[in-house]
Copies of this chain bind each other. A is one copy, B any other.
Amino acid sequence: MQMTPLRHIASINDLTNDEIAAVFDTAQSFLDTLGDPHFSHRIARGTELANGMMLATLFHEPSTRTRLSFESAMNRLGGRVITSADPATSSTAKGESLADSVRVVSNYADLIVIRHPCDGAARLAAEYAHIPVINGGDGAHEHPTQTLCDLFTLKKKNASLRGLNIAIAGDLRGSRTIHSFVYALARFGANLVLMPAKGLELPAHVDRRLRDEFRCTMAKPPAEAGETNVDALYITAKEPHQLSLIPEALDIHVKLTSRIDAVYVTRFQKEREPGRNYGAYPTVDAEFLKDAKYAKASVMHPLPRVGELAHALDSDARASYFEQASYGVPIRMALIAATLGLLKDKSLARFTGGFAPAKGAHYEDAARIGLRCRNPNCITHDPLEGSTTRNLFTLVPAPTSSKAVLRCHYCETDIETYVAAHKGDKKVHHDQEAIHNMTTKDLTQFVMFADDAAASEAGFA
């Protein structure tokens, strides 16, 4: 229905590097002209840029900082806000699908910010909304606006992000904040030193994207490093590498871990794994930071913290987490302004470049007879969305395999093993190398199944 294509921010990768830079310029200009003279970071006066416009915040999960900072940002821009902060008091309690909710709310506002417990919910909302959608955190998938605050904090402290060594500790599996953050760091040329709690390593699909899309070379710590905390290193490069996995090498390890520019830690996302406990979760405190390599490291945390970051650090000069929080309003003001087209030269235009979503062919099974996304927390498994989502995947090349991997359009997790059955001859095709190079059009001839048995059950042999 709309005349110009809408721009949604479901992932940090929906913004190009240039666009992120433009958002930072705008945020800085708000700080310069509207900032509270008593504080370096706080916006204390308003503009009338968004006068007459409306933000709807649809939060299906607890939040203080994301929701309140978006609402503050819209108000500081002169706009207005309508809020649904509690699923128990909204139509969701009556069993309404997210697709219906956002179509309806599209009539009430000019912009939607959504938070949802399911991975991929923001992408689904964007699919149905008639107005721009910004992801305020969807399950364990992404939290792009937190990453903008994190990146802006790093930019204020460093001339360039390129070549910075960023240690990331804690729950790398369940923390959506970290997923958006590592993509952005790789795209801007920082190196990653991953220090996950045991069992909470980076998901396979995030690792794959870092290596295949974002030009990282991954290295495991060599035995002689005697390293117990570091799980993997990701070295970024200006040019794509031929190989994205290099052998263990002590010199690389030493180079990347001898000077850490920032330590980023998050809480254990217990709501993603109720009942599970991680006794050996890292704690960042004075003891942790006494090693010389952390001497100038910024200590970062998206907050809230619940024990993994010592309160005693609050007075440490390296503590940067309240500074991160302080950029929440100006960054979100800038992003809202860009999304609503309020600024002549800094508004989001038609998406033209940068790190666009993976460019593989699309496989769609609208009738949902075949393979389902294997992430149990994906929005496609939400019973309320039974009729509003499809089995929709992008084929992405998997260098270590002869066939392409299927990446879920919504939650972006990968499926590596599956079989392809032809709709015409009703046969399972075991020569699957062919799938690798198929176009979207080719793929309309096929239905994918989990395995031969599933194909057979559906009448394909």
Contact = CB atoms under 8 A, between A and B. Distances in A.
Interface in A37-67: 37-39, 41-42, 44-46, 51-54, 56, 59, 62-65
B62 A89 contact: yes
B54 A96 contact: no
Contacts of A82: 68, 71-72, 75, 81
Interface in A105-140: 105-110, 130
A347 to B, nearest CB: 16
A86 interface: yes
Interface stretch (A16-24, A152-160, A208-216, A321-329): A321-329
Nearest to A304: B96
B325 A107 contact: yes
B42 A322 contact: no
Contacts of A326: 107
A286 to B, nearest CB: 13
A2 B80 CA distance: 29
A387 interface: yes
Most buried by B among A59, A71, A82: A82
A359 interface: no
Interface string A323-343: 001101100000000000000
A93 B63 CA distance: 9
Contacts of A310: 387
A222 to B, nearest CB: 38
A54 B42 contact: no
Contact of A72 (B46, B65, B109): B109
A68 B86 contact: no
Interface string A1-42: 111100000000000000000000000000000000111011
Interface in A159-198: none
Nearest to A328: B107
A388 interface: yes
Given A96-B303, A110-B44, A86 B84 contact: no
Contact of A38 (B3, B85, B97): B3
B387 A94 contact: no
Interface in A85-109: 85-86, 88-97, 99-101, 103-109
Contacts of A101: 64, 304
A52 B46 contact: yes
Contacts of A53: 44, 46
A204 interface: no
Contact of A95 (B69, B130, B306): B306
A419 to B, nearest CB: 29
A329 B109 CA distance: 10
A51 B56 contact: no
A346 B37 CA distance: 22
Given A100-B305, A328-B107, A267 B94 contact: yes
A312 interface: yes
Contacts of A108: 68-69, 72, 328-329
A109 B65 CA distance: 12
Contacts of A52: 45-46, 76
A238 interface: no
Given A71-B82, A75-B80, A84-B85, 10 more contacts: A46-B53, A46-B80, A56-B68, A68-B82, A72-B82, A72-B108, A85-B89, A94-B267, A103-B322, A104-B322
20 contacts: A3-B38, A44-B110, A46-B52, A52-B76, A54-B75, A62-B90, A64-B84, A64-B91, A64-B96, A64-B104, A64-B105, A65-B91, A65-B105, A68-B82, A68-B105, A84-B85, A91-B303, A94-B267, A94-B271, A96-B306
Closest A-B pairs by Cβ, 3 of them: A46-B52, A96-B304, A311-B387
